[in-house]
Amino acid sequence: MEWLRTNKYASGLLLIIRLYLGYEWFIHGLEKVRGGAFDATGFLNNIIANPVKGPDGTALYPIYNSFIENFALPNVGIINILIPWGELLVGLGLLLGVLTTAAVLSGLLMNFLFVFGGTVSTNPAMIVLGFIILAAGANAGKLGGDYYVLPWIKKTLTKRNDNPHFPIKDQPAH
């Protein structure tokens, strides 16, 4: 695990994985955003009508199904914005290597939500690759924008001496 988090050769391998995942997310999001006709209503209705079932025939994810029926479907207009733009932004973050951890976490969340809804597709492979990126931490974005963005964020957050949540080195917290 340490190799994945620190090694420069690992960062090259992570770049390839990150670019693949980023491309997949970006293209799917772009198609939905540019197409303008994305509507998750059918997908959500299918989750309710055909929940993922175990061997005994009972729904495996009843809380998720309830969430879909009682929140997502009544608010499908919001879902129709969140999914395309979420996919597009996850893809952009991974392609550019900017806020890589946040991007991959968001992508993993969407992957799991799609799997809970019964959509296998490429989601399992994307989950495995996403966890590799997540496990690598900052090394996953080292050959990307995170090389510049993460130090800037750290510097910005620790700039103020009176911020007890982010004390500057060699100064006690208040």
172 pLDDT above the threshold of 60: no
Task: Give the position of tokens 């090694």.
Answer: 7
Q: How far apart are CA 143 and CA 18, in angstroms?
A: 10
174 pLDDT above the threshold of 70: no
Question: Do 29 and 85 contact (CB within 8 A), yes or no?
Answer: yes
- If you average pLDDT over every residue of the chain, what do you get? 89
Counting every residue written for the chain, the total comes to 174
Over residues 114-165, the pLDDT tens digits come to 999 988 888 899 999 999 999 998 888 888 888 888 888 788 887 755 556 6
171 pLDDT above the threshold of 60: no
Over residues 19-72, the pLDDT tens digits come to 999 999 999 999 999 987 889 999 999 999 999 999 999 999 999 999 999 999
Measure CA 3 to chain center.
23
Q: Domain coordinates of the chain in residue numbers? A: 2-148
Measure CA 147 to chain center.
19
| Stated pTM of the model | 0.82
Backbone conformation region of residue 140, classed left if phi is above 0, alpha if psi is from -120 to 50, else beta: alpha
What pLDDT was estimated at residue 151?
Answer: 81
Over residues 66-119, the pLDDT tens digits come to 999 999 999 999 999 999 999 999 999 999 999 999 999 999 999 999 999 988
